[in-house]
Amino acid sequence: MRDRAIEILNANWRDGYTIPSKNLYPYQWNWDSGFIAIGLAHYDMDRAQKELETLLNSQWENGFIPHIIFHKISETYFPGPNFHRADLHPLANKKYPSTGMTQPPVLGFVLERIYEIAKNKADSLRFIKKNIDKVYKNHHYFYKHRDPNNEGLVYIYHNWESGTDNSPLWDPIFETIDAPEYNFERRDTSIIDPSERPTKREYDYYLHIIDIAKEHNYSDNKIAEFSPFLVQDPLFNSMLIKSNRSLITLYKMIGGNEDKIEQLERWQVKSLSSFNSKLFDEDLSAYIHYDLRNDKPIRLVSSSSFSPLFAGIPNKEQAEILVKTMMEKFGGKDMYLCASFDPTNSKFNPKKYWRGPVWINLNWMLYQGLLDYGYNDLANRIKSDTLEILEKVGFYEYTDPRKTIYKGKVKGYGGSDFSWSAALYLDLVNNQPTIRT
């Protein structure tokens, strides 16, 4: 498995970055790159560093880091750079064509993780010192431009920014949007089974939200004012908070930088307090999303509901409540942990992308979060479930949470030879103690 994982990462390496999966995802994706760098760090630190540097090179003048960087034009992906037109934004990176949206901010905690993995700590710290300010600038962008009410909770303006693209979480929002029928040729559904991908109608909404942002040249202020999709996402904000923490730890190791440490601590205090007062739903016993545009909570449970464990957000009592909810809704003995959407909800679909399947990156986060809170048995179950699934199906993009279907010949879903599945497998099997802050 280890050799196979390395083979996949090597095959998906392009000149300076790793594609998530051949054909289906032929470019560099933001959060993919972060997770991939963690896997690379276990056997080729130079490449891990290069992966991150390439992503950071795409940063815009305002600190923004895009979700896809279109290094070389590919015919197998839609929508490409000509649809996204990120260049409409006056501060867009002139060298790297990209999308005008972002993805969950992984880079802070990725830097910390690759430092933990590094054998040559001095070299790793030199690398971090050279690049950390760019990550700080990215956090500055989020707090300055994505938090119009000054709550310490940043918004996403597109479901693709969440990373959990077609989750049923977004259905109630799409119902409020009057999207036209677009005429376009999708490539993903000619590569893999359409039953595993979002529908055509969902793509209409995705494209329409981008068109609205384009009408405003991707201005953050205008997007906050006009985008029909504007959400405070607990997964996205957990990753920001986790990365804030890592930046504080790393700046302290580097020395100096008191002003940045103080600013990060101020953001952190505000974020933690709003997160717990606004996004914890007592009745559902879980963290939820908040629809900022329509000013109402999205009262649905998904694997994102547990991601605050990874960032040290819940207190002990809340953590206990989360674990109970996870076990009751997601943890039946016939289920692998952790389905991406509530298996007890009628919208759960175990095969369709983010509407139910297990995703390795979420499992990797939940594993660490549960360990941090001392839930060792449950953490170990998530880890062994993850390894067992990968051993059964190989390094797919996502997999079925129902144990019952793994009797005969089973396959995973979405892209095969998927880079972050391989990368995070390497991290899980090479598991090292993490620095606790």
Query: Minimum distance from CB of 258 to ligand DGY (Å)?
Result: 37
Could you say which of 53, 165, 211, 320 is catalytic? 165
Query: Minimum distance from CB of 30 to ligand DGY (Å)?
Result: 9
User: Can 342 be counted among the known catalytic residues?
Assistant: no
Query: Minimum distance from CB of 41 to ligand DGY (Å)?
Result: 24
Alpha-carbon dihedral sign for residues 318, 323, 324, 328:
positive
**Cβ closer to ligand DGY: 132 or 210?**
210
Please give the helix or strand (H or E) that residue 32 lies within, else none. Answer: helix 30-41
User: Can 397 be counted among the known catalytic residues?
Assistant: yes
Burial of 64 (0-12, 13-18, 19+ CB in 10 A): buried
Q: Angle at which helices 419-429 and 2-11 pack, to 10 degrees?
A: 140
Residue nearest to ligand DGY (CB): 160
Please write down the long-range contacts of 391-396, taking CB distance under 8 Å and 24 or more positions apart: 391/1, 394/4, 395/4, 395/5, 395/8, 395/421, 395/422, 395/425, 396/421
User: Is the distance from CB of 385 to CB of 336 less than 8 angstroms?
Assistant: yes
**Cβ closer to ligand DGY: 160 or 398?**
160
Strand partners, 18: 13
Query: Minimum distance from CB of 90 to ligand DGY (Å)?
Result: 24
**Cβ closer to ligand DGY: 67 or 245?**
67
**Cβ closer to ligand DGY: 44 or 165?**
165
Query: Minimum distance from CB of 33 to ligand DGY (Å)?
Result: 12
Lookup result for tokens 């979405």: 414
User: Is the distance from CB of 327 to CB of 271 less than 8 angstroms?
Assistant: no
For residue 161, give the DSSP letter.
H
**Cβ closer to ligand DGY: 116 or 165?**
165
Query: Minimum distance from CB of 239 to ligand DGY (Å)?
Result: 16
Please tell me whether the peptide bond between 79 and the residue prior to it is cis, using omega within 30 degrees of 0: yes
- Provide the binding-site residues for ligand DGY, judged by CB under 6 A: 67, 160, 165
Q: How far apart are CA 80 and CA 75, in angstroms?
A: 9
Could you say which of 220, 397, 400, 417 is catalytic? 397
Sheet containing 296-298, strands listed edge to edge, beginning at the edge strand earlier in sequence: 155-156, 231-232, 289-291, 296-298
**Cβ closer to ligand DGY: 133 or 171?**
171
One-character DSSP codes across 34-100: HHHHHHHHTT-HHHHHHHHHHHHHT--TTS---SEE-SS--TT-SS-HHHH-GGGSTTS-SSS-B-S
User: Is the distance from CB of 409 to CB of 20 less than 8 angstroms?
Assistant: no
**Cβ closer to ligand DGY: 234 or 414?**
414
Query: Minimum distance from CB of 206 to ligand DGY (Å)?
Result: 8
Alpha helices in 220-355 (DSSP H): 220-226, 234-254, 258-278, 316-325
Active-site residue list: 165, 397
